Amino acid sequence: MKDCLFEPIYINQLEVKNRIYMPAIHLGAAKNYKVTDKIIEFYKERAKGGAGMIVVGFSPIDNRSGNSLYIGAHNDECLPGLKKLASVIKDNGACAAVQLNHAGRYNYSILMEGRQAVAPSPIASNLNREVPKELTVEGIQETIASFAQAALRVKKAGFDAVEILCGTGYLISEFLSPLTNKRKDQYGGNLENRMRFSLEIIQAVRTVIGDDYPLIVRMDGNDFMIGGQSRGELKEFAKTLVSQSVDALCIKGSWHEARVPQLTTNVPRGLYGYLAKHIKDAVDVPVIASHRINDPSTARELISEGFCDMAAMARSLITDPLLPKKAKSGREKEILHCIGCSQGCFDNLYQLKHVECLCNPRAGHESESTLVKAKTAKKIMVVGGGPAGMTAALTASQRGHIVTLYEKNDTLGGQLYMAAAPPGRKEFLEFVKDLSTKIEISSIKVYLNTEVTEELIDQQKPDSIILSTGAKPILPPIPGVNMPHVVQAWDVLGNNAYTGKKVVIIGGGAVGVETALFLAGKGTLSGEAVKFLLVNRAETPEMLYKLSTIGSKELTLLEMADKVGKDIGKTTKWGMLQELDRHCITTRIGTKALEIANEGVIIESNGLTEKIPADTVVLAIGALSYNPLADILKKKQISFETVGDAKRIGTAFEAVHQGFKAGQNI
Same domain, 112 and 123: yes
Rounded CA separation 642/654 (Å)? 12
Report the pLDDT value the prediction gives residue 370, as an integer from 0 to 100: 87
Neighbours of 532 (CB within 10 A): 12
Same domain, 66 and 137: yes
Question: Sign of the CA dihedral 535, 538, 543, 544?
Answer: negative
DSSP 386-419: SHHHHHHHHHHHHTT-EEEEE-SSSSS-TTHHHH
Long-range contacts of 371-375 (CB under 8 A, 24+ apart): 371/395, 371/398, 371/399, 371/664, 372/399, 373/399, 373/400, 374/399, 374/400, 374/401, 374/666
Same domain, 110 and 74: yes
Rounded CA separation 224/254 (Å)? 5
Neighbours of 10 (CB within 10 A): 12
Instruction: Please list the helix, strand and coil fractions of the chain in percent, rounded to the nearest 5, in that order.
Output: 35, 20, 45
- CATH number reported for the structural domain that contains residue 48 in this entry: 3.20.20.70
Report the pLDDT value the prediction gives residue 84, as an integer from 0 to 100: 98
Neighbours of 495 (CB within 10 A): 10
Report the pLDDT value the prediction gives residue 510, as an integer from 0 to 100: 96
Range of the domain at 511: 475-621
Q: Is residue 582 assigned to a domain?
A: yes
Same domain, 168 and 230: yes
pTM: 0.95
Neighbours of 374 (CB within 10 A): 14
Rounded CA separation 238/456 (Å)? 66
Helices 137-156 & 79-91 angle (0-180, nearest 10): 50
Q: Is residue 157 assigned to a domain?
A: yes
- CATH number reported for the structural domain that contains residue 650 in this entry: 3.40.50.720
Question: Sign of the CA dihedral 410, 415, 421, 425?
Answer: negative
Q: Is residue 384 assigned to a domain?
A: yes
Same domain, 424 and 479: no
pLDDT, one tens digit per residue, over 485-533 is 999 999 999 999 999 999 999 999 999 999 999 999 999 999 999 999 9
Q: What is the pLDDT of the chain when averaged over all its residues?
A: 96
For residue 1, pLDDT over 80 is answered with no
pLDDT, one tens digit per residue, over 443-469 is 999 999 999 999 999 999 999 999 999
Q: Is residue 217 assigned to a domain?
A: yes
Q: Is residue 333 assigned to a domain?
A: no
